Chain A
Amino acid sequence: MSEDKELLKDGKRIDGRAKDELRDMEAEAGILKRADGSGYFRMGGTEVIASVFGPRELHPKHKQKPQRGIIQCRYNLAPFSVDDRKRPGPSRRGKEIGKVAEGALSSIVFLEEFPTATIDVYMEVISADAGTRCVALNAGAIALADAGIPMKGLISSCAAGKIEDTPVLDLKGEEDKDGQVDLPIAMNIETGEITLLQMDGMTDIDEMDKMLDLAIDGCEKVAEKQREALMETFGDKK
């Protein structure tokens, strides 16, 4: 890990942000025609388009749950989303993110209303500048709402981290690469429940406390943006 690069200068970060500041965001609902629901979310240089299909019959049949439906997520980096072209096809990283995304989204959907069915969420990263799983979930949650899936709340996601021994919100590429800790979370703003939590790096409980506070505040701001986008699409209709 290189330590020569200065990531914090006079309390400001390489892109001029304060420690507790998110990158600028953009959100949109209903951007694709064929999908049952779709969403777009951008945070700084990270952009994701998500689509939702379902509820629909789950195949193969032996995976069906008699009592409830399931959510299946696919997370994919487009080959042109990163500096060196990524070879198309599933990666180990993508598989894992798909799994934790399922864990993040499942608790907000009334899955008991859809026995034996699946709701498929496809998240395509168009450009990647760190925080792709968070932005993917933000787009995915908009797409679920756009598809009219009954939900208990909205999932909003962002990451906190540590650079130069300082907790900060929403790492961008260079900060993620040379930083010490990456802590992506997702939460249901209505209940305060954290439904995605991953962390790598060296830390302790006090620092986790601080970073979680930062990330929770960040998720609340993300939620505002998601709601705006949904209001824009659905606000006028009754």
Chain B
Amino acid sequence: MMEITEIEEEAALDNIKSGERIDDRDLKEFRDIEVVTGVAKKAEGSAKVVLGDTKVIVGVKFGLGEPFPDTPDEGMLMVNAELGPMASPDFESGPPGKDATELARVIDRGLRECEAIPLEELCIEEGEKVWKVMVDIHVLDHDGNLMDASALGAIKALKEAEMPGYEDGEVLRDEGEDFEVLKTPIACTIGKVDDKYIVDPGLVEEEVVDGMVTVTWTEEELCSLQKRGNGGFQKEELLEIFELAKEKSSELRKFI
């Protein structure tokens, strides 16, 4: 088991306090980012995001389903995350736990609240049949900040997706047209130690920060927030964090 040692935690903390990072980054610098699309041939859209040593694959599949009773004329968006045992010695097989559930739901809300996916256009027959857009996040290697990497992969995979055709109750996967995505929500996680803020917390840093906030911005609007970890924030600190996340999310947006 590669557990995080106390020495590593202390080093990460001392570095941040003196304005440095254990991997020699600036406080407000992302690790190297690489985004590749078309990594899963059977998926209608897919993307792999490499953020430092964190690796995530996101696949988008379309299917047919019955709409929810309260939205009979809207398609369905489903986001699911798997933190499988291959990605970390701390992950176990089995149904999604709290971490995987939080990951999926924060990304779901980022996409849903800004109406990035025009769900009312995904209705085939009101109350009977609609398209389901299923976004699956598979974490391959967990080296911190799964949130930002997965959110980036999700929006990239959706933007790359080809929507299959439909005829007489059948999905025609050979026919495809570009899938329409209206907004580009980008999640950016900011960590805090005393009066210092860090962007893109790594695995050890996530353990030592006072707390983190995952902030999701579209091009202009703030559409989702999630405070994570155990600490707390003063209101003024939060407002600074929202601003910083807006600025830094524009760097991630370049990969879309």
Cβ–Cβ < 8 Å partners of B232 in chain A: 107, 187-188, 191, 193-195
A200 touches B222 (CB 8 A): no
Return the chain A residue nearest B210 by Cβ.
A107
Residues of B contacting A: mostly: mixed
Interface size classification for chain B: 35 or more
B233 contacts the other chain (Cβ, under 8 Å)? yes
B221 contacts partner chain A, Cβ-Cβ < 8 Å? yes
List chain A residues, Cβ under 8 A from B225: 183, 197-200
Q: Judge if A208 is at the interface, Cβ distance under 8 Å.
A: yes
Given the contacts A103-B227, A204-B222, A92 and B235 also touching, CB distance less than 8 Å: no
Asked whether A196 lies within 8 Å of B227 as measured between CB atoms, the reply is yes
In the complex the two chains form, is A96's CB within 8 Å of B238's CB?
Answer: no
Tell me, yes or no, whether A12 is within 8 Å of chain B by CB: no
Rounded to whole Å, the gap between the CB of B149 and the closest CB of chain A is: 19
Residues of chain A within 8 A of B96, CB atoms compared: 92, 95
Once the chains bind, are A103 and B234 in contact (CB under 8 Å)? no
Interface residues of B in 92-117 (CB under 8 A from A): 96-99, 101-102, 104-105, 109, 112-114
- The answer to the question of B250 belonging to the interface, with a C-beta cut-off of 8 Å to chain A, is no
Would you call B227 and A197 a contact (CB within 8 A)? yes
> What's the minimum C-beta distance from B67 to chain A, rounded to whole angstroms?
16
At the interface, yes or no: A17 with Cβ under 8 Å from chain B?
A: no
Q: Which of B218, B223, B227 contacts A194 (CB 8 A)?
A: B227
Give Cα A103 to B232, complex, Å: 9
Closest 4 CB pairs of A and B: A193-B232, A199-B225, A197-B227, A106-B230
A197 to B231 Cα, complex, angstroms? 11
Cβ contact within 8 Å between B231 and A200: no
Chain A 174-207 interface 0/1 with B at a Cβ cutoff of 8 Å (1 = within): 0000000001000110011111111111111100
A contact residues, total (Cβ < 8 Å): 34
Closest to B222 in A: A203
The interface residues of chain A lying within 8 Å CB-to-CB of B222 are 199, 202-205, 208
Tell yes or no: A93 within 8 A of B by CB.
Answer: yes
Interface residues of B (CB under 8 A from A): 96-99, 101-102, 104-105, 109, 112-114, 211, 213, 218, 220-235, 238-239, 242-243, 246
Task: Enumerate chain A interface residues (CB-CB to B < 8 A).
Answer: 92-93, 95-96, 98-100, 102-103, 106-107, 183, 187-188, 191-205, 208-209, 212-213, 216
A selection of 5 A-B contacts at a CB cut-off of 8 Å is A96-B102, A103-B211, A103-B228, A197-B233, A205-B242
* B233 and A194 contact, CB distance less than 8 A: yes
Cα A196 to Cα B225 with chains together (Å): 10
User: With A187-B232, A194-B234 given, is the CB distance from A96 to B113 under 8 Å?
Assistant: no
What's the Cα separation between A238 and B179 when bound, in Å? Answer: 68
A95 with B235: CB separation less than 8 A:
no
Assembly CA distance A205 to B243 (angstroms) = 8
Contacts of A183 in B (CB 8 A): 225
B226 touches A193 (CB 8 A): no
Pick the contact of A107 from B213, B223, B230, B243 — CB < 8 Å?
B230
Docked pose: A67 CA to B98 CA in angstroms: 23
Chain A residues with CB below 8 A from B112, complex form: 200
Structural contact, B99 and A208, CB atoms closer than 8 A: no
Closest to B220 in A: A204
Chain B residues closer than 8 Å to A191, beta-carbon distance: 232
A216 surroundings in chain B (CB, below 8 A): 235
Chain A residues, Cβ within 8 Å of B228? 100, 103
- Given A92-B96, A96-B102, 12 more A-B residue pairs with CB atoms under 8 Å apart are A96-B101, A96-B105, A99-B101, A102-B230, A107-B211, A183-B225, A194-B233, A195-B230, A195-B231, A197-B233, A200-B109, A205-B242
Please give, as numbers and ranges, the residues of chain A lying within 8 Å of B213 by CB-CB distance. 197
| B90 shortest CB reach to chain A, Å | 9
Question: Measured between alpha carbons, how far is A219 from B213 in the docked complex, in Å?
Answer: 20
